[in-house]
């Protein structure tokens, strides 16, 4: 038997087993659940529930509904909740990835309602910075459950839950009452943001139309861009809200009446945003006109000083040509006469330009 090659033996000794790829441990759905409760006749049942236990309790009692609130769930967490409540896969995908326009969709006996949230960011008036932050709230409404999914830094829905729990008669209307309360809360937040943006627009108008003020155009463009973002978040909600005021066997008549009030508030917000857009467009035009006027004024001043400087330059150029035969070259007071002519000419031009408001 031939001897084994030392190189082959070295290769065999140097071989190491290929490590297996690391498996990502799924994060349980409970990590994304902010609150979970069961409500019967408008009253919250004592105790803590998981999403599975909550809907099981509702089915066992044959009355009431479960309300599960989630914040920014991942695909695995949302899939677990979707399997419990039999949510459609398309809505689950939207709830995970967000960035959806406001809409209302129906899948069998489940309503899927998307709202955009807005938040006003404190800032310096003339700074170019973000003014409005947006987020999203997705609401799944069934006959015996409501699932809310929140994205963004918008304030949580704990206040809405406490307010409803303090009004058992409203909460007894079922899951659609929760949907109305959230829509009302979001639209009311629109009103607050609109009031704060209105203060910015009024302050910007005052600065632009104040005589002698120096205003940059960039902050106006920034404010207009933020108003456009606000409009994209708010205005498309009109169609879903209007749909919720129409006859629908999934939405009780009493809830539809409350939705009309939310629709009225939303219409007011949309009109104010349209007014802001028009006002800022006018401000942009006024600011550009003011900048152009300032530039024309500067150019007139520059031209006036150039005209004044041209007189001594011309005289100095003429008498600096060093021709042998020129007037006043041999005159005793020629030098002083030329200086006096320069001074009188420049003074006369200066007085003339001041009277015409060029200087």
pLDDT tier at 7, thresholds 50, 70, 90: very low
Among residues 269, 291, 313, the one where a domain terminates is 291
pLDDT at residue 220 greater than cutoff 90: no
At 230-287, the pLDDT tens digits run: 999 999 999 999 999 999 899 999 999 999 999 999 999 999 999 999 999 888 888 8
At 309-352, the pLDDT tens digits run: 888 888 777 777 776 667 777 777 777 777 888 888 888 888 88
pLDDT of residue 339: 82
Residue with tokens 């079922």: 174
- The pTM assigned to this predicted structure is 0.77
Side by side, the strands of the sheet bearing 33-40 are 43-44, 33-40, 65-71, 145-151, 132-141, 110-120, 103-107
* 113 and 193 assigned to the same domain: yes
List C-alpha distances in Å: 45 to 128, 165, 281: 50, 11, 54
* 275 and 304 assigned to the same domain: no
pLDDT tier at 12, thresholds 50, 70, 90: very low
* 87 and 60 assigned to the same domain: yes
pLDDT of residue 233: 92
* 105 and 252 assigned to the same domain: yes
pLDDT tier at 216, thresholds 50, 70, 90: confident
Among residues 291, 313, 336, the one where a domain terminates is 291
* 200 and 163 assigned to the same domain: yes
> What is the rounded distance in angstroms from the CA atom of residue 252 to the CA atom of residue 110?
14
pLDDT tier at 118, thresholds 50, 70, 90: very high
* 205 and 330 assigned to the same domain: no
Lowest mean pLDDT among 53-57, 75-79, 116-120, 327-331: 327-331
Q: Which CATH number do you get for residue 44?
A: 3.30.460.20
Does 317 or 1 have the greater pLDDT score? 317
pLDDT of residue 59: 94
Question: What does DSSP say about strands 65-71 and 145-151: parallel, antiparallel, or unpaired?
Answer: parallel
pLDDT tier at 353, thresholds 50, 70, 90: confident
Q: Which CATH number do you get for residue 318?
A: 1.20.58
Q: What does residue 59 show for φ and ψ, rounded to 5 degrees? A: -65, -35
* 301 and 280 assigned to the same domain: no
pLDDT of residue 14: 44
24: in domain: no
Range of the domain at 279: 29-291
Taking residues 44-69, what's their average pLDDT?
94
193: in domain: yes
* 323 and 204 assigned to the same domain: no
Taking residues 26-30, what's their average pLDDT?
75
Lowest mean pLDDT among 52-56, 158-162, 215-219, 278-282: 215-219
pLDDT of residue 8: 42
Length of the chain: 359
pLDDT of residue 255: 94
pLDDT at residue 26 greater than cutoff 70: no
pLDDT of residue 104: 95
* 130 and 266 assigned to the same domain: yes
* 196 and 321 assigned to the same domain: no
Mean per-residue pLDDT of the chain:
85
8: in domain: no
pLDDT of residue 22: 44
Contact by Cβ (8 Å): 234, 142: no
pLDDT tier at 9, thresholds 50, 70, 90: very low
**33: Cα separation from own chain's centroid:** 26
* 250 and 320 assigned to the same domain: no
Does 38 or 288 have the greater pLDDT score? 38
Lowest mean pLDDT among 72-76, 146-150, 205-209, 290-294: 290-294
18: in domain: no
Number of domains in the chain: 2
183: in domain: yes
pLDDT tier at 289, thresholds 50, 70, 90: confident
* 267 and 159 assigned to the same domain: yes
């Amino acid at each position: 038997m031939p001897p084994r090659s030392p190189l082959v033996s070295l290769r065999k000794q140097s071989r190491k087993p290929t490590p297996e790829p690391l498996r990502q441990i799924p994060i349980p759905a409970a990590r994304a659940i902010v609150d979970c409760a069961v409500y019967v006749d408008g009253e919250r049942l004592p105790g803590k529930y998981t999403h599975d236990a909550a809907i099981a309790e509702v089915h066992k009692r044959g009355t009431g509904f479960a309300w599960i609130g989630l914040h920014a769930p991942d695909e695995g967490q949302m899939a677990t909740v979707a399997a419990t409540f039999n949510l459609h896969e398309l809505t689950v995908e939207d709830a995970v990835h967000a960035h959806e326009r406001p809409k209302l969709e129906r899948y069998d006996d489940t309503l899927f309602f998307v709202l955009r949230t807005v938040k006003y960011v404190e800032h310096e008036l003339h700074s170019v910075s973000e003014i409005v932050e947006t987020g999203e709230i997705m609401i799944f409404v069934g006959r015996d459950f409501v699932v809310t999914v929140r994205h963004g830094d918008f304030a949580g829905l704990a206040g809405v839950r406490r307010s409803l729990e303090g009004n058992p008669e409203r909460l007894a209307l079922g899951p659609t009452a929760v949907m109305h309360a959230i829509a009302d809360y979001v639209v009311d937040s629109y009103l607050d943001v609109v009031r704060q943006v209105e203060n910015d627009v009024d302050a910007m108008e005052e600065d632009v139309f104040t005589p002698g003020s120096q205003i940059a155009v960039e902050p106006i463009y920034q404010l207009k861009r933020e108003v456009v973002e606000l409009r994209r978040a708010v205005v498309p909600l009109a169609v879903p809200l209007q749909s919720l005021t129409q006859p629908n066997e999934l939405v009780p008549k009493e809830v539809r009446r409350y939705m009309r009030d939310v629709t009225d508030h939303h219409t007011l917000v949309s009109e104010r945003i349209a007014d802001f857009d028009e006002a800022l467009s006018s401000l942009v035009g006024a600011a550009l006109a003011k900048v152009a006027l300032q530039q024309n004024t500067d150019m007139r001043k520059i031209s006036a000083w150039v005209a004044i400087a041209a007189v001594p330059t011309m005289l100095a150029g003429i008498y600096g040509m060093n021709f042998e035969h020129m007037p006043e070259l041999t005159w005793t007071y020629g030098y002083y006469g030329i200086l006096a002519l320069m001074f009188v000419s420049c003074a006369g031009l200066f007085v003339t330009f001041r009277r015409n408001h060029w200087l």
